[in-house]
């Protein structure tokens, strides 16, 4: 029975770890390090911490099998880390024939406003803004798929994080942005710029 339980918990832990590593290949990194490298450091910490917790647990209860405890702890920790890495895949709607920068502004709205205005500005609630890194689906108002014409900040990071200073009440405007380029410029960043301080709806960022 203990052997079967050890195998079951081990397979569960290994399965979650495999999907976790795959997800880490898709997330942006930081400080010139890839998301996989940074995530690998967290995974290594989990493995070491799980060993310590398992050892402490064995001191309290010697009857529990070591590897069953270890695999259970790592499976739970991997699942929690997996959840923290979750990023929604949004569907952004832009005006017909739109090219330029799309800016998703951190705001006080309860529901995300993903149909952007004529300046390419939409609004995200704080929760979505903080979790978003996945490349979105982009369509125009007629339903035409423009995802192929969407160009991200860099090969490893789709959304560019920007901060604009507003003179009113010393307010900061934080945004996640990408570009929609013409068909003959697919894959080529055009470095469009939108002055959010003049165009954003101030009532949504107070």
132 and 111, same domain (yes or no) = yes
The token duo for 59 is 């001191």
* Domain final position from 54, 84, 114: 84
145 and 79, same domain (yes or no) = no
69-75: long-range pairs with CB below 8 Å, 24+: 71/6, 71/9, 71/10, 71/12, 71/13, 72/9, 72/13, 74/13, 74/17, 74/46, 74/47, 74/50, 75/9, 75/12, 75/13, 75/16
Number of independent structural domains in the chain: 2
pLDDT for res 196: 92
Q: How many CB atoms sit inside 10 A of residue 99's CB?
A: 16
Q: Percent of the chain scored above 90 by pLDDT?
A: 62
66 and 8, same domain (yes or no) = yes
Top-confidence residue, 85 or 206? 85
Q: What are phi and psi of 187, to 5 degrees?
A: 85, -5
* Domain final position from 58, 84, 110: 84
143 Cβ partners below 8 Å, 6+ apart? Answer: none
108 and 187, same domain (yes or no) = yes
107 and 195, same domain (yes or no) = yes
Residue 55 binned pLDDT confidence (cut-offs 50, 70, 90): very high
Q: Percent of the chain scored above 70 by pLDDT?
A: 93
pTM, entire model: 0.76
Q: Is the dihedral of CA 156, 148, 198, 124 positive or negative?
A: negative
pLDDT for res 1: 61
Domain region containing 191: 91-204
Residues 125, 166: Cα–Cα separation, whole Å: 19
* Domain final position from 84, 114, 149: 84
58 and 107, same domain (yes or no) = no
Residue 167 has pLDDT above 70, yes or no: no
pLDDT for res 18: 93
DSSP 185: G
80 and 96, same domain (yes or no) = no
* Mean pLDDT value across residues 127-136: 92
124 and 186, same domain (yes or no) = yes
Residues 169, 117: Cα–Cα separation, whole Å: 25
- For the ranges 1-15, 123-137, 156-170, the one whose mean pLDDT is highest: 123-137
Q: Which of 177, 175, 156 is nearest to 30 (CA)?
A: 156
Please name the residue that has the structure tokens 């064995």.
Answer: 58
196 and 95, same domain (yes or no) = yes
103 and 130, same domain (yes or no) = yes
8 and 31, same domain (yes or no) = yes
Residues 27, 20: Cα–Cα separation, whole Å: 11
137 and 179, same domain (yes or no) = yes
Strand partners, 113: 123
Are 133 and 152 in contact by the 8 Å Cβ rule? The answer is no
What are the pLDDT digits (tens) for 92-106? 999 999 999 999 999
């Amino acid at each position: 029975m203990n052997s079967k339980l050890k195998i079951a918990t081990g397979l569960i832990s290994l399965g979650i770890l495999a999907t976790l590593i795959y997800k880490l290949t898709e997330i942006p990194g930081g400080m010139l390090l890839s998301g996989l490298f940074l995530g690998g450091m967290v995974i290594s910490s989990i493995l070491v911490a799980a060993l310590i917790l398992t050892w402490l647990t064995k001191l309290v209860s010697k009857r529990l099998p070591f590897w069953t405890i270890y695999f259970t702890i790592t499976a739970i920790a991997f699942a929690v880390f997996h959840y923290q890495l979750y990023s929604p895949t949004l569907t952004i709607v832009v005006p017909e024939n739109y090219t330029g920068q799309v800016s998703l502004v951190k705001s006080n709205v309860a529901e995300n406003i993903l149909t952007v205005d004529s300046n390419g500005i939409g609004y995200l609630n704080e929760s979505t803004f903080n979790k978003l890194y996945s490349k979105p689906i982009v369509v125009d108002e007629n339903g035409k798929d423009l995802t192929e014409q969407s160009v991200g900040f860099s090969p490893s990071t789709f959304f560019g994080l920007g901060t604009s200073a507003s003179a009113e009440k010393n307010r900061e405007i934080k945004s996640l942005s990408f570009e929609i380029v013409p068909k003959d410029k697919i894959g080529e960043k055009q470095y469009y710029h939108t002055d959010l301080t003049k165009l954003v709806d101030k009532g949504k960022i107070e």
